[in-house]
Each structure stands twice: as C-alpha cells, then as structure tokens.
Structure 1
Amino acid sequence: MGLLNKAELIKDMIQTAIDNGARTVEEVHKSIADMPFEALERSGLLKDETSQLREKNQQTIGMVYEKIRDINEKVGELASDMFESLEDSQHISRVMDENDDRDQRP
C-alpha cells in the first residue's frame, strides 16, 4: 500500500471518528438540555408554549451538530481531492521521466 493510500485510509478513519463523536456528543447534549423540560413536565408546569420551546431547543442543538458533520464531510472531500491530485502528479511525472529516458536513448 502506497503512502497516499495509507494517508487516505487514515483520513477516512479520522473522519469517521469525528462523525461518530459528534453524534455521541449531540445525544448527550440533547439529553442534558432536556432535563429542565422533563422536570417541568413532571411537576405539571409544562405548557404548550414550553413544549414548543423544548422542540425548538432540540432542533437548534441538532442543527449545530449537523453543521459539524457537514464541515467534517467537506474537509474529507477536500483532502481526498488533494490526495487524488498528488497521485495524478506522480503519474504524470513518471510518464514524463519515461519519455525523457526514451528520448535520450541512441
């Protein structure tokens, strides 16, 4: 396995770890943020407006972590494009070297 393939594999592993970590942190964040709403609900103080606020809070938290996952994906795509460009450059350089060697033969 070449160096660029190894780098791509490591990039994929890091990208997956970030995505999984963001999902886990999002779940914990939502759970903690929901605790005051649960307490209000148990005490009978949760009204319709508060219920809507609860849902809006959960949506907002979800949007933040979705953006983190989107950025992670874009950075991964950018890195993959860079690896591909490097591989293309290596191939072009090899072909040019072979042509130079062929042209210099008597």
Structure 2
Amino acid sequence: MPAWVVLAATAACMLLTAALLLRHVRLGTSVRESGNDIGAAAARYGEAQRMLRQRHRIQDAQRLAEGAVEGTTRTVEDIHRGIASIPFEVLDGIPATRDTARIVREIHDLTSTTVYTSIRAVNRLVGSGMRQGLRLDAEAPKKDRDSHDQ
C-alpha cells in the first residue's frame, strides 16, 4: 500500500477522532447543563410546593381565627345581654323606675348590639382583606415568572 494512502487514512482517522472527541465534549457539557437546569427546576418546584403548603396553613389559620372571633363575640354578646337583663328586670318591676329603666334598656341594648355588630363587621373585613391578600400573593409568583420570561 502506498504511503500516501496510509497517511491519508491516518489523517482521516485523526480528523474523525477529533470530531468525535469534540462531539463528546459538547454532549458532556450539554448533559451537565441539562442536569443543572433540572436541578434548578426541581428546587423551584420544591420551593413552590413549600410556599403553597404555607399559604394553605395561613388560610386555615385565618378561617379558624375569623370563626373564633365570630363565635366568641356572639357568646359574649349573649352572656352580656343575659347579665344586663337582670338589673333591668328588677327595675322594670318597680313602678317608679319602670319607664326610665325601659328607656335606658333600649339605649343599652342598641349600644351593645352596635358594638358587637361592629366587632363582627371588622372581623369579616379583616378576614376578607386577608383572603384577598392571600389570593394576590398566590398570583404574584406567576406574574414574577411572566416578567422574567420577557
């Protein structure tokens, strides 16, 4: 076999080996980059899951707190009304204080009803604000992702 054929075949083998080596290096880099991307995506997914669990805990706590304030306020209102009725009933039984006691009782009942109604209204308002804030917070990561994509 002529020397130039051996030389040409050797050169071709060397070029092919270099091309394969270059391809191998590029694939290795690509695989490492893909691995890094997968790791980062897994971390983002894990963080999103943690945030979702935390948001659910906060929502549960908010519902529990709002319900507790509502129930406690109704209970206190009922107890207050029951205790307040005792002296009013006594005064109602005395002819000399009956008319004044009825007026004072109406003012008392109107005032206490207004106070307890206001407490419940503020409780619902705070609860509504918390629920709205949690919904807005839930939407924020999506908006952040959208702005990063642009």
TM-score by length of 1: 0.79
Give 1:2 shift: 2.4
Distance, in Å, in 2 between the alignment partners of 1:94 and 1:3 is 20
Aligned equivalent of 2:111: 60
Whether the 8 Å CA contact 1:22–1:69 is kept in 2: the answer is yes
**2:101 maps to 1:50:** yes
Distance 1:43 1:49, change over 3 A: closer
Specify the SS of the correspondent of 1:2.
helix
Q: Deviations over 1:6-40 (max 9, x none)?
A: 21121011100000000100111111122111112
**2:66 maps to 1:15:** yes
Q: In structure 1, what residue type is equivalent to 2:66?
A: Q
Q: Deviations over 1:47-67 (max 9, x none)?
A: 234212212211111110111
Distance, in Å, in 2 between the alignment partners of 1:62 and 1:8 is 29
Aligned equivalent of 2:85: 34
Whether the 8 Å CA contact 2:92–2:101 is kept in 1: the answer is no
Q: In structure 1, what residue type is equivalent to 2:117?
A: E
Percent identity over paired residues: 24
Give 1:76 shift: 0.5
The 4+ residue runs of structure 1 with deviation greater than 6 A are none
Unaligned runs of 5+ in 1: 101-106
**Pair member with larger Rg:** 2
Higher relative contact order (CA 8 A, sep 6+): 1
Distance, in Å, in 2 between the alignment partners of 1:63 and 1:57 is 10
Q: How many residues align?
A: 99
Unaligned runs of 5+ in 2: 1-51
Distance, in Å, in 2 between the alignment partners of 1:78 and 1:6 is 16
RMSD between aligned alpha carbons? 2.0
TM-score by length of 2: 0.58
